[in-house]
Amino acid sequence: MKFVSYKHSLILGDNHIVTKQFIVIKSSDGSLHFTNFHRYVKSSLKIKSITDDGNKRFSYVIKFLNYSFGEKGITSLDHLTLDMVKDFLMNYGLGTLPGDSKHRKKSTVKICINTVLDFLTLYLKERKGKAILCPSDLYEITTFTNKRGRLIKRKEPKFDVYVDDSQTEQAIFRDMPNVAFEMLFAHIAEYHKDLLMVVALGAFVGLRPSEACNVRREDSPLGAGVLFHQSEGETFKVEIDLRKEMSLRSDLRPTGRIKKKRMQVVPYIFLEIFLEVYNDYMSYLEGKKYEKDYGPLNLNKRGKALTYDVYYQRFRSIIREEMIPLYLKSDNAEVVFFGQLLQEHNISPHIFRHWYTTQLVLSGVSEISELMSARGDKSPDSAWVYLQNKGEIAKQYEQVNNGVFAYMSWRADDLFGKGGKA
């Protein structure tokens, strides 16, 4: 058995969604047993939309519970000891928990520490006199003044937590060479056409995978999700409407979270290929059933809106089962090396957003505000990393050329044969 999250959603007027998240025990037979641990997970939001991935604090707490009950063998949090808490946070910081495959940033470890301490504070206060621990065993309260001159209280653990982030700083530079990207995109266009648009929204618009799953069709009754601006019959601008998270399924299943609500413009260097891919994808959708009351752009095989969870799992399967063998058989040494890396490291659909960003930087985007806008960032931190390391990126990526690669030329070859005509 293991602890997992469970979400229950209700739809209100104007398609607004209220989501409540619980922590449940999932048995080996798939049955769920509810706990009351959700009561101790602090949240800044009381109302969430169905497309919200949920309060991320839950993921840290669930990892902690699985370690305490699974690895340490306790049967109640009342039996938790200081050493158990220290061991969990130490292993989390070093990236050595069961199932860990990568190092973590210091900022991520800090969030986990704060989350676990907040969780235990609420639990232990309620269980005073019954639990072995009390909050004062775990931390001390310190105060400091922030940049705005406000006095802030902070929990400081009474023990050290070490972080091995030695491999995180340059991690973005080993991701995906252009040749490997072209192979992957062409493979999806040919064998997984239902994923073509959700991939294009990441690679050519920079949407987060969860945001791409929340995009509506042009004719959606909930409002156009893709807007085309034309002059004299030519499209000169395309926008993706991410201003509001909406329920896109009749069964109320979450599709994907919008991290920053906005109108996202397709960059000019990707406009041509985006239009080509979009038209190809919409031709593929002709005659296929979908939930017209919602008008989702990306569909699963049953005609409902594609969820981020399904997209993630299918992407991972495509990489493991189909792309790695193709990469390893390539006559390009760079592609073979990339395939070897994939045998040792996992990647997610987020890699398309990374690839998109590198192409923008290499094409001449040099202002942090411009890159933030193109990425839909709330803070400058991520954009700054790319701009700060432009030279290093240029060493490992070919310059963007004529809108990436000749997608329609490839499609023509695929459909009619090289040198052939319709």
pLDDT digits (tens, 9 = 90+) for 144-190: 776 677 777 888 888 878 776 555 444 443 468 888 999 999 999 99
34 and 125 housed in the same domain = yes
Domain that holds residue 179: 171-416
Q: Is the pLDDT of residue 129 over 70?
A: yes
pLDDT at position 197, please?
97
Q: Residue 137: left if φ>0, alpha if ψ -120 to 50, beta else—which one?
A: alpha
Strands of 17-26's sheet, edge to edge?
A: 2-11, 17-26, 32-34
> Residue 13 is inside which H or E element, if any?
none
Q: Can you give the pLDDT at residue 422? A: 36
Q: Above pLDDT 70, what percent of the chain?
A: 85
pLDDT at 344: 80
Task: Give yes or no: residues 134 and 257 share one domain.
Answer: no
pLDDT for 340 beyond 60: yes
In a domain, 235, yes or no: yes
Within-domain flag for 186: yes
Task: For residues 98 and 207, state if they share a domain.
Answer: no
pLDDT at position 105, please? 82
CATH number of the domain that residue 221 is part of: 1.10.443.10
Q: What is the mean pLDDT of the chain?
A: 85
Q: Does 399 reside within a domain?
A: yes
What is the per-residue pLDDT for 216? 97
Tens of pLDDT along 371-402?
A: 999 999 988 878 888 887 777 677 666 555 44
Per-residue model confidence (pLDDT) at position 305? 96
* Residue 213 sits in the same domain as residue 306: yes
- Do 17 and 76 share a structural domain? yes
Query: Which among 127, 157, 187 is the end of a domain?
Result: 157
**Neighbouring C-beta atoms of residue 242, cutoff 10 Å:** 22
Least confident of 21-25, 54-58, 182-186, 221-225: 54-58
Residue with structure tokens 């979270």?
Answer: 257
- Domain membership of residue 165 (yes or no) is no
Mean pLDDT of 347-376: 91
Per-residue pLDDT at 54: 52
Residue 13 domain-assigned (yes or no):
yes
Higher pLDDT, 174 or 308: 308
What pLDDT score was predicted for residue 52? 47
pLDDT of residue 401: 47
97 & 184 share domain: no
pLDDT value of position 175: 63
User: Do 238 and 305 have their domain in common?
Assistant: yes
Is residue 166, in this structure, part of any structural domain at all?
Answer: no
Number of domains in the chain: 2
421 falls within a domain: no
Q: Assess whether 191 and 270 both reside in one domain.
A: yes
Cβ atoms 55, 43 nearer than 8 A: yes
**What confidence score (pLDDT) does residue 417 get?**
47
In sign, the C-alpha dihedral spanning 315, 321, 324, 325 is negative
Same domain, 153 and 175: no
Between 203 and 256, where is the model more confident?
203
407 and 264 co-located in one domain: yes
Domain shared by 311 and 358, yes or no: yes
- Look at residue 276 and tell me whether its pLDDT is greater than 80: yes
Predicted pLDDT of residue 76:
95
More confident residue, 40 or 144: 40
Mean pLDDT of 63-89: 94
**Quick one: pLDDT at residue 421?**
39
CA distances from 182 to 7, 20, 78, 188 (A): 37, 41, 54, 10
pTM over 0.85: no
Any domain includes 237: yes
- Answer yes or no: do 59 and 177 share one domain: no
pLDDT tens by residue, 218-272:
999 999 999 999 999 999 999 999 999 888 999 888 888 888 999 999 999 999 9
Dump the DSSP string for 252-309: -------SS-EEEEPPHHHHHHHHHHHHHHHHHHTT----TTT-BSSB-TTSSBPPHH
